[in-house]
Amino acid sequence: MVRGCLSTGTGIFLLPLYVRGNTEADSYIIWTHGGPGSSGLYYGDIDEIAVLHDDYRIVYWDQMSSGGSTGNPDKDDYNIEEFSDHHEAVIKIIQNRYNPKRMIILGHSWGGFLSAYYLIANGDSSLATERQAEIDGLLYGSDVSTHYQYIEDAGGMLVQRNRNDELTRELAPRMLFFSPFHFYNYYSNQNTIRSCMDITGKTLANPNQPNLSSLTVPTLFIAGEDDKIAFKYMSEEWFDMLGSYSGSDAEEEEYFKMYRNCAHAAFLDAPDQFQEDVVSFIENL
């Protein structure tokens, strides 16, 4: 594990980075987790994702107030610009330490929003994103666990519920006893961030903010028809905003993937299709 020490104006945050996969690979995938306030470290132990380790190196990391990260952020630190600066620091750490030929950012849920924001503001890298998520802080309410339960009851988080239960049984003991991940923090951090962070209006369609039309790097957009967090029509609208493509039917067929029988976690609901599309996207860059 590589641990990155990031200093901000109000303190020092230690954000864990876990680099796994093929040590000979020249393509590095930066896995940017959702939330905000979730964790990225456990994804590498999910078989449906770990299969990518055969051909690529994947960088799993925890954002501020997420997973196994440490520090004492002030409420004023919870803003998209701060998260974006941390994302940039992670990119620089990987560049300086490994000097990869290619880096692909793969963002899920909130991570898709953050990745797109970072790239528009700073980057010229390629982006493989599973979700370009417009986030409205008012959507979630004050109790994240209750909100998640509503989504799960509606079948909008994951269609393959049995697989989710299996992963809970497999990963929970490892995360509890053999990782810096803290289950209480998993929910308390998300509640804290969303109570402090003004992300209402911080959408990528806001002309006063970095705009999706400014994102011109190659972008793969994967969405689920049954997603109850980022609904189908929202995903279609976001893809149409991208400046990466001219909007032709051929481009949409190649770079916009709407998975059937799939909710908010495409890599679990449709793992074979997800792996095939991600690999094809990377190999054709």
Q: Which domain holds residue 96?
A: 2-283
Tell me what pLDDT residue 191 has: 65
- Quote the pLDDT of residue 254: 86
Do 174 and 41 meet the contact criterion of CB atoms below 8 Å apart? no
* Low-confidence residues in the chain, pLDDT < 50: 130-145, 147, 150-151, 154-156, 200-208
Beta carbons within 8 Å of 60's beta carbon, 6+ residues apart: 17, 18, 19, 20, 31, 33, 40, 41, 43, 44
Instruction: Give the C-alpha distances (Å, rounded to integers) separating 231 from 132, 199, 226.
Output: 12, 19, 7
pLDDT at site 52: 96
Give the CATH number for residue 28: 3.40.50.1820
Tokens representing residue 263 in the block: 């909710």
pTM score, whole prediction: 0.81
What is the structure's pLDDT at 139?
Answer: 39
| Res 140: pLDDT | 40
Domain count, the chain: 1
